[in-house]
Amino acid sequence: MKELSEKLGMNPMEDVLGVTLYSNRYGGQIGVGLFYVKNLDRQKMLNLLKEKHPDHKTSEYGSRTLYTWTDKHHSKTMELTGTFASDTLIVIGADAEMVKAALDVLDQKKPGLAKDAPLLQGIPEMALMSSRGIDVPEEYRKTTKCPVLHNCKAATAVWTEKDGQIEGKYEFATTSEATAKNFKAIVDGFKAMGELRFNDVPSVKKVMDGLTVETSGESFTATFKASTEDVEAAAKAMMEQKMECPFFGKHHGPKEKHGGEKK
C-alpha cells in the first residue's frame, strides 16, 4: 500500500472519499466509474499510466485531456478511457462516449438523473453503500454470471450508519416465489453455519442475531442491524479464530514445519 500510495500520489485507504459506478444499460463492456478524492497528484498518476501502458493514446474533449489504454479484465482485453474531471474527481469508463456524457452532466451541459428517478428512490443521500439494478431484461438474466441478477428483475442493497448503529437492507424482486424461498434458504444456511462455527464467541453471535430474512411472494428481504462497536469486536474475533484451523490446529508461517513438512 505504501508503494502504491507513492506511485499514485495518494493513499487509496485515506484519500478516496467516495466511488460511484453505473451503467445505463445491461450487457457488454460498458460502465463508468467516478472516484472522489481529497487530493491527487496528476503527474504521478500520468507517470504510472505511462509506465503500465506506454502505448496509451490521448485526445481532447473540451478543456480536458482523455487518456485511452487497453487492459485485461477477466482474461479479456478491454479499452478504457479516463480523465481528470477536476482536482478531486477522476472519471474512468469502458466507453469513451459514456465518459464524455458523464463530463457533460458534471459540467451541467446535459441533465443527470432526477432526484425522483426510480434508480434513486428510497436510497438515503448519506448511505455508506448503495447498489441497485432495475428493469433487468429477461435476455440479460439468461446470460449474466451474477447469481442475483440471474434470478431477479430488480435488486437493491443499502448500508447506512447513524449514531453508532449500522443497518443493511437487501431487497430482491425475484423471478418466482420459489426463487425467493431459495434465497432465504441460502442466507439461513450461511447464518446457521456461522452460528455453529462461532457459537462460543459472544460478539459474533450477537452480530449474527442482527440478521433477519423474510419472503413475501416473489419478494426477498434481508435486514441487518448492529452497533459499530459490536461489528468491530466480531470482526476482530473472527480474524483471530481464522488463525485456528479446525483440522490442523494453529496456523504456521511458510517457513515453519507443519506435520513434519514445510507448508
Per residue in 100-143, pLDDT (tens digit) is 999 999 999 999 999 899 999 989 988 999 999 999 999 999 99
Is 2 or 251 the better-scoring residue by pLDDT? 2
Cα separations in angstroms, 47 against 14, 34, 37, 53: 21, 20, 19, 10
Q: What is the mean pLDDT of residues 58-85?
A: 91
Name the strands in the sheet holding 219-227, side by side, starting at the edge strand that comes first in the sequence: 129-133, 152-162, 165-174, 219-227, 211-216
Q: Rounded to an integer, what distance in angstroms lies between the CA atom of residue 146 and that of residue 220?
A: 17
Is 249 or 221 the better-scoring residue by pLDDT? 221
Q: Which positions ≥6 away from 147 have C-beta within 8 Å?
A: none
State the pLDDT confidence band at 205, using cuts at 50, 70 and 90: confident
Residue 14 has pLDDT above 80, yes or no: yes
- Give the pLDDT of residue 109: 96
DSSP 8-49: HTS-HHHHEEEEEEE-SSSSSS--EEEEEES---HHHHHHHH
Residue type, 249: G
Per residue in 27-71, pLDDT (tens digit) is 877 899 999 999 888 999 999 999 999 999 999 999 999 999 998
Q: How confident is the prediction for the chain on average, in pLDDT?
A: 88
Q: Rounded to an integer, what distance in angstroms lies between the CA atom of residue 24 and that of residue 16?
A: 24
